[in-house]
Amino acid sequence: MTYSQVAAKLDGLLATGRPAFIGYLPLGFPTLENSIDAVITMIDAGVDIVELGIPYTDPVMDGPIIQAAAQIALDNGIHPRDVFGVINQIKMQRPGIPILVMTYYNPVFRYGVEKFAHDLADAGGAGLITADLVPEQGPEWIAAADKYGLDKVFLVAPSTLPQRLRLVAEASRGFVYAASTMGVTGVRSEVGAAAAKLVADTRQAGAKHVCVGLGVSTGQQAREVGRYADGVIVGSALVKPLLDGSIPWDQRLQHLSRVTHEIAQGVAEARKDTNA
């Protein structure tokens, strides 16, 4: 069986009695150097696994906060190939943290699927979360990921039928990404009520690890989701503190650190005094 950086991290954290905190930030926002500083800040404040998003011109899954940050990165000339250098620099500073790339499939396809897999593995990346790719349309990526020992994270949603849950569970490595609700990313007042059932159904379909994202934005929400999910995925709530360009960058990083720490506390407390 191919080794998985992410599954190993999840197993280690779950053995201590808590799920993982998976944090998303966009590559190159607002600059490449700033994005490295932001990821390091996020890790130091409690993130266990990083999702590094490649900005894309047609982000069908991204809500307004992530779209705004991604557009700034695109306007500054960010390119998908920049992700490899950023991963390498983060891994040199925080070697124990798995880094997944969150991407739409077109940038990978245009770069060259096997070349992307090779360069990602060479940089120390853990694998890809492919937001718009379903397993039956991704045999080239699946083969390349298997060749280079990369994780393959596919998505399920509350509308996913049982036979598709089995297909996704079988194709994924690292974890299955359970979207808590239908729609795009964003800060929400509550996480989709169907998320717990989706996690249970995905495990029943054969997935070893299931992590939940879309809408988790507070420590309390993270605490609730962490009771049943193997990992709590947070994106917009971490990007939002960095968006206000009228505030000095170091103050934005301090705000990011505070938000991250609050959510990390919720994750850490998720399974205390429970049998989860």
Contacts of 136 by beta carbon, 8 Å cutoff, 6+ apart = 167
Contact, 121 vs 128, CB < 8 A? no
CA-nearest of 112, 115, 83, 114 to 100 is 83
Contacts of 71 by beta carbon, 8 Å cutoff, 6+ apart = 55
Mark 217-229 as b/e (b = at least 16 C-beta within 10 Å): bbbebbbbbbbbb
Q: Largest alpha-carbon pair distance within the chain? A: 50
Does the active-site annotation cover 51? yes
Residues in the chain: 276
Catalytic residue, chosen from 33, 44, 51, 201, is 51
CA-nearest of 225, 82, 102, 240 to 174 is 102
- Identify the DSSP state of 55: P
Catalytic residue, chosen from 11, 58, 62, 273, is 62
Q: How far apart are the first and last CA of the chain?
A: 27
CA–CA separation, 111 and 109 (whole Å): 5
Does the active-site annotation cover 224? no
Give the residue numbers marked as catalytic.
51, 62
